[in-house]
Amino acid sequence: MTDKPLIVFVGAVYPSQYSLLCSYLRAQGLADAWFMTTPGHKANHDKHCDHLLSFQPDGLIVGPQSYYYSDKVERSARICRGVLKALEDFEAAQGRKIDVVVAHSLWGAPNWLYGELDAAIISYIEFPSYLAHGWDAAYPPDQAQRLGDRNTEMLSFHQVLCSDLTIVPSAYARSMFPPLLQDRVAVQFEGFDIQPPLRNFGAAGDAAGDTKKPFTIAFSARDLSSAKGLETYIRLVDRMVREGDGQNTRFIAIGDAKASTYGYEQQWVERRYGGKVESFRDHLLKVYPAADVIEFPGHLPYDQFSALLAEVDLFLYPLRYGVANWGLMEILARGGCVIGSNWGFAPELIAHNVNGLLLPDNDDDWIDAIRQLRKDPARRQRYAQAALETGKAYHIAKVAPRFMALFERAMANRKAQLVAPR
């Protein structure tokens, strides 16, 4: 027998936000950790990973379900029915009980595990609903989407009530839950293993401000969306070009214009243009024509993405809505100089005038800060060096012990429930 806790992470997608943590805990001998995913993902990654398990969903989980308004609830049921059977089979094969199950709220769906397993059940919830998350009033959801969102919210609240612990990625995400539930919710951002930056910060060009190459101002996010602030970026570029700030300047928006987003802007574009405009990005370029100087490299292989980040002098991160983004951490951990929004989760990663700037929702402030930083390479370098330290603080080696403490807390909560008088 081993005294290491037996921990199973569950998610229909692999890799996911906890796959690195699972591998790290196993490699360091901190836990007997496994990751349970769908058979297709297991088959694709088995040759690279020796601790994958699979569950078979009880029906199709990709595409619409039988009833639009309860789509996510139904999909979660199909997932969890398969997860429960797979976990029971795994326990039987191991000859021991699972200590902790860490399940993604929608893609690992723990709803039917409560009362069926002795394990401590931890639910990871990114945010409870789109109502809580927010969306741009210019691109609102229709009534059907609002009603469907209520069912998702009920699913999230039920998981918080029934789980031994719920983990969210930021304090801002935790604040979206009703006060009565917040004591059951813990905050912990994921751990990362981002490689050192490609840029040589000691180079003479960085220190002196190399005027031979264009000054590069970038936006970077998985999705070129309203929530991530694409409209603000394009609007700022349009103004800078019209006011003469585009000379010897390169503008890049890194990300996928066709990726799914945390909002409803793409549906709005489809309704307005009837299919004649392909994406939200294309709509914005019609509204802000001077911003057509922006390069859009699209979705890139990771090595190309990393190399492109190293070419950027200044990142704009004008987040509108969101609870935690890997994209911002990727920028900081690679030593990016960032101007970010002073609301949402961004202040949890960016300390104003330490590892970047935090600004209000005012274009004049952003334009002024861009102009000042462009003329001050020493200040940009100071922010970049501090950003590297931020990245180190979220390295998987630093974060894994914090997760283990949360897992132990969940096990203690579960044990207290099992021994409580009924």
Q: Domain coordinates of the chain in residue numbers?
A: 6-192+396-419, 204-393
Give the mean pLDDT of 259-286.
Answer: 96
Q: How does residue 199 score in pLDDT terms, banded at 50, 70 and 90?
A: low
- pLDDT for the residue 227: 96
- pLDDT for the residue 421: 60
Give the mean pLDDT of 202-226.
Answer: 75
Q: How does residue 3 score in pLDDT terms, banded at 50, 70 and 90?
A: confident
Q: Residue 53: CB partners within 8 Å, gap ≥ 6? A: 8, 34, 35, 36, 37, 42, 86, 90
Residue 160's nearest CA partner among 186, 193, 198 is: 186
**Pair 5, 100: CB distance under 8 Å:** yes
Give the mean pLDDT of 225-246.
Answer: 97
pLDDT of 280 above 70: yes
- Helix (H) / strand (E) element for 17: namely none
CATH topology of domain 6-192+396-419: Rossmann fold (3.40.50)
- pLDDT for the residue 195: 84
Answer yes or no: same fold for 6-192+396-419 and 204-393: yes
Q: Is the peptide bond before 15 cis (omega within 30 degrees of 0)?
A: yes
- pLDDT for the residue 204: 35
Percent of the chain topping pLDDT 70: 95
Give the mean pLDDT of 349-355.
Answer: 98
**Pair 186, 125: CB distance under 8 Å:** no
Q: Residue 367: CB partners within 8 Å, gap ≥ 6? A: 236, 239, 240, 243, 245
- pLDDT for the residue 196: 73
Give the mean pLDDT of 249-256.
Answer: 98
pLDDT of 72 above 80: yes
- pLDDT for the residue 1: 44
Token pair in block for residue 56: 């078979």
- pLDDT for the residue 211: 60
Token pair in block for residue 24: 């790290």
Q: How does residue 395 score in pLDDT terms, banded at 50, 70 and 90?
A: very high
Amino acid at 314: L
Q: Which CATH superfamily is domain 204-393 in?
A: Glycogen Phosphorylase B; (3.40.50.2000)
pLDDT of 369 above 60: yes
d(CA 295, CA 252): 5
- pLDDT for the residue 203: 41
- pLDDT for the residue 207: 42
- pLDDT for the residue 201: 56
Angle made by CA atoms 348, 349, 351, in degrees to the nearest 5: 90
Q: How does residue 417 score in pLDDT terms, banded at 50, 70 and 90?
A: confident
- pLDDT for the residue 197: 73
Q: Give the pTM.
A: 0.95
- pLDDT for the residue 2: 64
Q: In this predicted model, what pLDDT tens digit does every residue of 114-169 receive, in sequence order? A: 999 999 999 999 999 999 999 999 999 999 999 999 999 999 999 999 999 999 99
Give the mean pLDDT of 355-379.
Answer: 98
Q: In this predicted model, what pLDDT tens digit does every residue of 20-68 receive, in sequence order? A: 999 999 999 999 999 999 999 999 999 999 999 999 999 999 999 999 9
- pLDDT for the residue 202: 46
pLDDT of 271 above 90: yes
Report the range of poorest mean pLDDT among 7-21, 211-225, 277-291, 374-388: 211-225
d(CA 374, CA 215): 8
